[in-house]
Amino acid sequence: MAAKLTGQPLAPKTWQINQPEKGAQGQLYYCGLCDEALILTARDIHPLKIVLIFDNTCPGCGFELENNLKRDPFKVPDGAALYTNTNCSDPDSIVPPSDPFTLSLVRGNRLTRNLRQSLRTGVEYFDRVLVIRKGQLVSLHGEPSLSFSHLLCVRAILPEPEGLNSDCIFIDGGNMFDSYAIDHYATILGLDHRKVHERIHLSRAFTHHQVDSLVTRLRNGIDRYNTKFTVVSDITQLYCDPDVKNAKESINLFAKGVRLLRAIAEQTETIILTTTLQSRNREMENILLRAAHAPARIEGSQVTLEGRCDYAEPEPATWASGLLAVDDGSLSSRNQRSNRKIAAR
C-alpha cells in the first residue's frame, strides 16, 4: 500500500525529532534561526513552495524564511510520505500527485566557499572520513574526541598549509584540559612547549551559565586574538549537571548557545569544535546533530558521520596507517578518566 500524502503532525523543533532506524530517505526542512521543524517528506519540494505555504514567516521565531530555510537529509518513518508543522495551513497542497517541482535544495551553510580541507589531524583514516573546513561547526561524540581536540589545538598552531598558523580558544566545559597532552603533541610536531601554551587561550567554566556566558562572548575573543580554531570541550556536561534545577531552561540555553556557535563559525570563517565525551541527554545530542556542519561519532576504531545515510566508508581493521597509540602513561586526566591517547605520525 502506498504511503499517505496527507500531512501528519511534526514535532515543533528539529532536536525533538528522533530519526528512525528504518524508513525512506527524505528531507527535513526547518528554520535555520530557531530550529523550528517545518516539513519532513520523502518527496522533493521546491523551497519556494515552502516559503509560500508559510507566508514567508517562521511559525517559531517570526523571521522571514526566504533567507533562513534549511534542509537536511532525514529518514521518513514508514506509513506517511509527509509530516508538517502544526501551523501549516494547507498540507495537501505541498506535494500534489503531479508535483512539477524536481529541484532540490541543500543546506546553504553547508556549501563552504573553500572546498579544500582546512585542518587535518594527521590521522589518515580520520581525515578521509571527516573533512574539516573553515566556516564549520564540527561536533565530535565519544571519549576519543578529547584527545582529538588537544591534537587539533596544537596542529592549528602549525604554519599553513599544515595548520592554520593561528592562536586557539579552549572553552573547558568539563574541566578536561590536559596540559600534558598539549606538551605531548607539541613534542611530536616539533613545536616549542612554551610558545604553544602561549597561543592557547584557556577559559574554564564550572556551571552551565558560565558556559553560556563564554559562548556569548566568544566572538569578541575571536576578534581579539585573531583565532581561527575554537574548542568547546565536553559541551553537554555542565548543562546536565545534577545541580541544574530547571532542565527546560538548561536545554533552551544549550540550544541558543549551539545556534550561536554555528553562526559565529559561519560569520568569522573559523572552525569551532565541540566535543561530547558521553551520552547524557538525547535532546541536546539532537540539537548538536542538527546544528553542526560536520557531526561525527568515534567508537573504538570507527569514525562515522552522523546523519549521513549514504556514507559507505568501510570500517578499518586498525588505525595503524594513520594513528599511533600512546600508552606510556605520560598523559594523565584531571578527572582520572581513562582517555584514549593518540598521536599523529
- For domain 124-344, give its CATH number from 1.10.10.10, 3.20.20.70, 3.40.50.300, 3.40.50.800: 3.40.50.300
User: What pLDDT does 200 receive?
Assistant: 97
User: What pLDDT does 60 receive?
Assistant: 84
Going by C-alpha positions, the residue among 64, 79, 4, 73 that lies closest to residue 40 is 73
Please state the pTM of the whole predicted model: 0.63
Q: Return the ∠ at Cα 319 (arms to 331 and 121), rounded to 5°.
A: 65
Q: CATH 3.40.50.300 spans which residues of the chain?
A: 124-344
In the Cβ-directed half-sphere of 197, how many Cα atoms lie within 13 Å? 11
Q: Which strand (E) or helix (H) includes residue 165? A: none
User: What pLDDT does 340 receive?
Assistant: 36
User: What pLDDT does 137 receive?
Assistant: 95
User: What pLDDT does 41 receive?
Assistant: 86
In the Cβ-directed half-sphere of 168, how many Cα atoms lie within 13 Å? 32
User: What pLDDT does 50 receive?
Assistant: 83
The CB density around residue 52, as the number of other CB atoms within 10 Å, is 12
User: What pLDDT does 326 receive?
Assistant: 36
Going by C-alpha positions, the residue among 260, 293, 314, 276 that lies closest to residue 118 is 293
- Tens digit of each residue's pLDDT, the chain (345 residues): 333 444 577 888 888 888 777 778 888 888 888 888 888 888 878 787 788 778 778 888 777 787 788 888 888 887 677 888 888 766 766 765 444 433 334 344 443 344 568 899 988 888 888 889 999 999 999 999 999 999 999 999 999 888 999 999 999 988 889 999 999 999 999 999 999 999 999 999 999 999 999 999 999 999 999 999 999 999 999 999 999 999 889 999 999 999 999 999 999 999 999 999 999 998 899 889 888 999 999 887 788 887 544 343 444 444 433 333 333 343 444 443 333 334 333
Do the bridges between strand 168-172 and strand 137-141 make them parallel or antiparallel, or are there none, so unpaired? unpaired
Please, which residues have CB within 8 angstroms of residue 344's CB and are 6 or more apart in sequence?
121, 122, 123, 151, 155, 185, 188, 189, 322, 323, 324
The CB density around residue 225, as the number of other CB atoms within 10 Å, is 16
Look up residue 150 and give its three cell numbers.
588537544
Instruction: At 139, give phi and psi (nearest 5°).
Output: -125, 120
